Amino acid sequence: MKQEALSAFQYGSISSIAMILFMVVFVGFIYFAYSQRNKEFFEEMSQLPLNEEKKYEPR
């Protein structure tokens, strides 16, 4: 079954498709990280370690 599926593609075309898919996902992550729409979310998340409401005392 796997051989039949792979026989339809040459190995060059599979690696090209994988590379294009990787690039699209990578550009999507970069866009998400640098989007102005998400700036407030990331600013809030960056302050979480500093804004502890509950202070833990060591035992």
For residue range 10-37, what is the model confidence (pLDDT) as tens digits?
667 888 888 999 999 999 999 988 888 8
pTM: 0.54
Q: What is the mean pLDDT of the chain?
A: 79
- At residue 48's C-alpha, the angle toward residues 46 and 54, to 5°, is 165
Our measurement of the distance from residue 27's CA atom to the centroid of its chain's CA atoms, rounded to an integer in Å, reads 9
Q: Which residue ranges make up each domain of the chain?
A: 25-49
| Per-residue pLDDT at 21 | 96
> How far lies 2's CA from each of 6, 21, 32, in Å?
6, 21, 36
